[in-house]
Homo-oligomer: A and B are copies of this chain.
Amino acid sequence: MSSARKLVRVLSGDPEKVSPVWLMRQAGRYLPEYRKLRAEAGSFWTMALTPKYAAEITLQPIRRFGFDAAILFSDILTVPEALGQKVTFTEGEGPSLTPVTSAKGFDEDQEHWSSYFEPVYEALRLTRGALGPETTLLGFAGAPWTLATYLAAGVGGDEQKAAKLWAYRDPKGFGYLLDILGECVAFHLIRQLDAGADAVQIFDSWASGLPMPLFEQVVIEPTKKIVRAVRAARPEAKIIGFPRAATLAGYEIYVQATGVDAVSLDTAAPMRWAAENLGCVLQGNLDPIALIAGGAALDRAVDDILEATAGRAHIFNLGHGILPETPIAHVEQLLKRIRG
């Protein structure tokens, strides 16, 4: 039976005349209603781990723009927290953790994971209850490699050095870290599906700059295991992978080897190349800075993507998260250009 949700239909491989659309970080600082609620909640973690806040923030961009999908307001660093690794968010500085050199002390108790993640699942249930039947609800998690870059360096951002060094010097210990992270990620994705998510996205935000043997070891293998574990538990699960700024060869292997239903492309991966070379549903890949620029440049960039994906199962999205300074009028312009 065909779903009432356009994005779910597309994830099954059926092209739509008008691509469904959502934007990474669509619940975020570019929205005045988000900034207002942020001021009220006080801290990022309070927002993310209080179901009524998380649900409300998730719903804000749907009310304003009618995106085809709501993505739960949460953070990829919930997984390290569930594993007992404290994460602190400092305003204007991003997250910080105590750097680790071993995963031996990680909390592997699934009961603890369940109770830690419970507010996330409650937020999903609240969101699903408030969404219209046509709107897809997405859950997500960070991929083990990206989480490992935070755990090894103790900071967020594009800081792969510590994790790479660990992977090169101690492949066995690093493999153990990736395995534990992968188990917790799979656990979390399955329970997000159970709590009402129609599909889940795996964010490997720092998948760039990896030599192919390392890419296969730290991106492909862990992701393959997660997809297998999720499908073993929930055979109908729809999974989107986002190995951001992988090489084109990396994207090809990722799609072939991991078994994701869809792949999300970064700003540079040519959508025309993807339509010809990747045998899965495509998502992406508008440059968030074209969305800030607006005007003719935005229209042209949108048209490029729509032309490249015509007749293909495609979900319109950005190549990276929407930036705080994005004018709301440009999001409206984008939707008008896509939907006519």
**Interface positions of A (Cβ within 8 A of B):** 158, 160-161, 164-165, 168-169, 171, 208-215, 245-250, 266-270, 272-273, 285, 287, 289-290, 292-293, 295, 297-298, 300-301, 304, 319, 323
Query: For the complex, what is the distance from the CA of A270 to the CA of B267, rounded to whole Å?
Result: 20
Q: Are A293 and B247 in contact (CB under 8 A)?
A: no
Q: Are A304 and B268 in contact (CB under 8 A)?
A: no
Contacts A169-B295, A247-B247; A208 near B211 (Cβ below 8 A): no
Told that A171-B297, A208-B208 touch, could you supply 10 new A-B pairs with CB distance under 8 A? Answer: A160-B289, A161-B292, A164-B293, A168-B295, A208-B268, A209-B268, A211-B267, A213-B301, A245-B245, A248-B249
Q: Are B161 and A289 in contact (CB under 8 A)?
A: yes
Q: Are A209 and B273 in contact (CB under 8 A)?
A: no
Chain B residue, CB-CB nearest to A161? B289
Chain B residue, CB-CB nearest to A252? B248
Q: Are B247 and A268 in contact (CB under 8 A)?
A: yes
Q: Which among A246, A266, A290 has the highest number of chain B CB atoms within 10 Å?
A: A290
Q: 21 A-B residue contacts at CB 8 Å?
A: A160-B289, A161-B292, A161-B323, A164-B287, A164-B289, A164-B293, A165-B289, A169-B295, A171-B297, A208-B208, A208-B268, A209-B268, A209-B319, A211-B285, A212-B272, A213-B304, A246-B268, A247-B269, A248-B248, A249-B270, A249-B273
Partner of A208, one of B214, B215, B245, B272: B245
Query: For the complex, what is the distance from the CA of A247 to the CA of B277, rounded to whole Å?
Result: 14
Query: For the complex, what is the distance from the CA of A138 to the CA of B100, rounded to whole Å?
Result: 42
Q: Are A268 and B168 in contact (CB under 8 A)?
A: no
Q: Are B161 and A210 in contact (CB under 8 A)?
A: no
Q: Are B209 and A245 in contact (CB under 8 A)?
A: yes
Contacts A168-B293, A287-B164; A211 near B304 (Cβ below 8 A): yes
Query: For the complex, what is the distance from the CA of A310 to the CA of B210, rounded to whole Å?
Result: 22
Query: For the complex, what is the distance from the CA of A292 to the CA of B162, rounded to whole Å?
Result: 11
Contacts A169-B297, A293-B169; A287 near B248 (Cβ below 8 A): no
Query: For the complex, what is the distance from the CA of A168 to the CA of B247, rounded to whole Å?
Result: 25
Query: For the complex, what is the distance from the CA of A96 to the CA of B26, rounded to whole Å?
Result: 33
Give the chain B neighbours of A289 by CB distance below 8 A: 160-161, 164-165, 168
Q: Are A301 and B211 in contact (CB under 8 A)?
A: yes
Partner of A266, one of B209, B215, B273: B209
Q: Are A165 and B293 in contact (CB under 8 A)?
A: yes
Q: Are A168 and B290 in contact (CB under 8 A)?
A: yes
Q: Which among A168, A210, A272 has the highest number of chain B CB atoms within 10 Å?
A: A168
Query: For the complex, what is the distance from the CA of A165 to the CA of B319, rounded to whole Å?
Result: 16
Give the chain B neighbours of A297 by CB distance below 8 A: 168-169, 171
Smallest distance from the beta carbon of A165 to chain B beta carbons, Å? 6
Give the chain B neighbours of A295 by CB distance below 8 A: 168-169
Give the chain B neighbours of A169 by CB distance below 8 A: 293, 295, 297
Contacts A164-B289, A248-B247, A273-B249; A267 near B304 (Cβ below 8 A): no
Chain B residue, CB-CB nearest to A163? B289
Give the chain B neighbours of A266 by CB distance below 8 A: 209
Query: For the complex, what is the distance from the CA of A211 to the CA of B303, rounded to whole Å?
Result: 13
